[in-house]
């Protein structure tokens, strides 16, 4: 046929172009589909992330609403007025001394007793008292005389009794000695535990802030003046009464141990009677002593007799300017021996007791006086009847 082209190359070219066009279209469709799918997937994930974020925010908001509010900032404290009924420990409770039969051991007791207010003025009405401390083996057989001595003067004295722990008899409830025994330990004559007992008595007495003067007595001691005279003499004294003197020979300097040096030297060594009277400042010094007492505990043994040397030495070294260097307890050493004379009923007369009252002279607050002793020892229990028959403390 005229004009018809049957060239094979031309047909092949058309066929190839048709296939090429088909593949181009298919590629576009596939690319579009892939992009569309990717868009759908991303959209789904973003939607889930938004939901999770919203839930998290909602959870945090709920927790914040249910949690307790933060504590308010500290505010200034204004003390309540004295008329307030707010419960708590006030000055009255603080000042009240514990029961004498407390649960403190010696270390705790001495620590508490050594505490000292730095302000000297008392913020309460204080009636100064005299602490009468009895160091005994067993019962106070002269108690009736002391009962008479204390009668009518409540609130002006305190009583403390250190007896052998094995002694378990109690005083009548009507007695001034009832319930006045402190936690005690065994004491041996001439041993350092005698000083430990004295410090124990002082520490217990110091727990009462009203105690101003402290007297050490034995079960064989008697008062030789009435309470008013004794109280006035002690409370108004400007000095303490711890006997202290330097004595040559075997029962004085001969008892010194060189191992005490350099803390205590031979020149500082003193001797004196065990029975003392002291003010509150000195009593605190004795119970607080951790420098000299350990030396006596370690080296004053055997024939050293710590009760005759520790206090005279310590007081002279640390409180010599405030000490009278004499004792207020009269004893009779004229018969010799390791112990003073003991007086029976037949030896106790009015003349004898009056001689004890004014038979010597001494210094008191810078003046000469004939009242040098307020107490005396050693008196047997049967002497008690003599006091009741023929002698009045007044």
Tell me what the mean pLDDT of segment 235-247 comes to.
98
Measured between alpha carbons, how far is residue 367 from residues 233, 325, 362 in Å?
A: 13, 15, 8
Closest C-alpha among 246, 298, 238, 240 to residue 272 = 246
Q: How confident is the model at residue 53 (pLDDT cuts 50, 70, 90)?
A: very low
- pLDDT(66) > 80: no
Report the Cα–Cα distance between both ends of the chain, in Å, rounded.
177
Of 53 and 47, more confident: 47
**pTM, to two decimals:** 0.77
Tell me what the mean pLDDT of segment 205-227 comes to.
96
Q: What span, in angstroms and rounded, lies between the C-alpha atoms of 390 and 372? A: 23
Quickly tell me which residue has 């009255």 as its tokens. 92
- pLDDT(84) > 50: no
Q: What span, in angstroms and rounded, lies between the C-alpha atoms of 220 and 84? A: 51
Measured between alpha carbons, how far is residue 150 from residues 131, 143, 154 in Å?
A: 12, 10, 7
What is the chain's mean pLDDT, rounded?
83
- Predicted pLDDT at 212: 98
What's the CA angle centered on 175, arms 105 and 140, to 5 degrees?
65
- pLDDT(279) > 90: yes
In sequence order, what are the residues at sequence separation of 6 or more whose Cβ sits closer than 8 angstroms to the Cβ of residue 222? 142, 145, 375, 376, 377, 379, 383, 387
User: What number of other Cβ atoms are within 10 A of residue 367's Cβ?
Assistant: 7
User: What number of other Cβ atoms are within 10 A of residue 252's Cβ?
Assistant: 16
Q: What are the start-end ranges of the H helices in the chain?
A: 8-66, 91-95, 106-113, 143-150, 193-206, 227-235, 280-288, 293-299, 310-319, 350-358, 384-390
What's the CA angle centered on 389, arms 349 and 229, to 5 degrees?
75
Q: What span, in angstroms and rounded, lies between the C-alpha atoms of 333 and 327? A: 14
For residue range 280-311, list pLDDT tens digits in order: 999 999 999 999 999 999 999 989 999 999 99
- Predicted pLDDT at 54: 47
Share of the chain above pLDDT 90, in %: 58
Q: How confident is the model at residue 340 (pLDDT cuts 50, 70, 90)?
A: confident
Q: How confident is the model at residue 98 (pLDDT cuts 50, 70, 90)?
A: confident
Tell me what the mean pLDDT of segment 258-275 comes to.
97
Measured between alpha carbons, how far is residue 360 from residues 223, 325, 328, 370 in Å?
A: 17, 15, 12, 6
């Amino acid at each position: 046929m005229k004009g018809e082209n049957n060239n094979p190359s031309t047909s092949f070219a058309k066929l190839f172009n048709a296939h090429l066009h088909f593949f181009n279209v298919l590629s576009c469709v596939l690319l579009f589909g892939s992009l569309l799918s990717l868009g759908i997937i991303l959209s789904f994930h973003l939607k889930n992330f938004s939901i999770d974020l919203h839930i998290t925010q909602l959870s945090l908001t709920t927790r914040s609403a249910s949690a307790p509010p933060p504590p308010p900032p500290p505010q200034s404290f204004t003390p309540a007025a004295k008329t307030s009924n707010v419960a708590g420990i006030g000055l009255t409770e603080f000042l009240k001394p514990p029961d004498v039969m407390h649960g403190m051991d010696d270390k705790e007791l001495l620590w508490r007793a050594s505490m000292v207010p730095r302000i000297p003025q008392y913020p309460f009405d204080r009636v100064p008292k005299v602490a009468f401390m009895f160091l005994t083996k067993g019962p106070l057989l002269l108690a009736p005389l002391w009962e008479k001595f204390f009668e009518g003067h409540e609130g002006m004295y305190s009583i403390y009794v250190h007896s052998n722990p094995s002694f378990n008899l109690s005083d009548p409830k009507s007695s001034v000695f009832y319930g006045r025994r402190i936690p005690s330990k065994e004491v041996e004559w001439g041993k350092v535990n005698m000083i430990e007992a004295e410090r124990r008595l002082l520490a217990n007495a110091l727990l009462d802030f009203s105690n101003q003067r402290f007297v050490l007595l034995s079960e064989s001691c008697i008062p030789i003046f009435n309470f008013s005279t004794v109280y006035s003499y002690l409370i108004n004294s400007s000095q303490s009464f711890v006997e202290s003197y330097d004595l040559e020979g075997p029962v004085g300097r001969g008892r010194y141990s060189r191992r005490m040096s350099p803390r205590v030297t031979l020149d500082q060594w003193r001797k004196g009677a065990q029975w003392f009277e002291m003010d509150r400042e000195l009593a605190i010094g004795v119970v607080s002593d951790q420098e000299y007492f350990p030396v006596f505990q370690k080296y004053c043994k055997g024939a050293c007799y710590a009760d005759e040397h520790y206090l005279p030495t310590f007081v002279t070294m640390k409180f010599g300017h405030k000490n009278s260097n004499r004792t207020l307890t009269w004893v009779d050493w004229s018969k010799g021996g390791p112990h003073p004379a003991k007086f029976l009923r037949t030896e106790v007369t009015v003349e004898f007791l009056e001689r004890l009252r004014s038979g010597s002279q001494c210094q008191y607050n810078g003046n000469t006086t004939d009242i040098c002793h307020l107490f005396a020892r050693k008196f047997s229990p049967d002497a008690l009847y003599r006091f009741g028959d023929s002698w009045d403390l007044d």
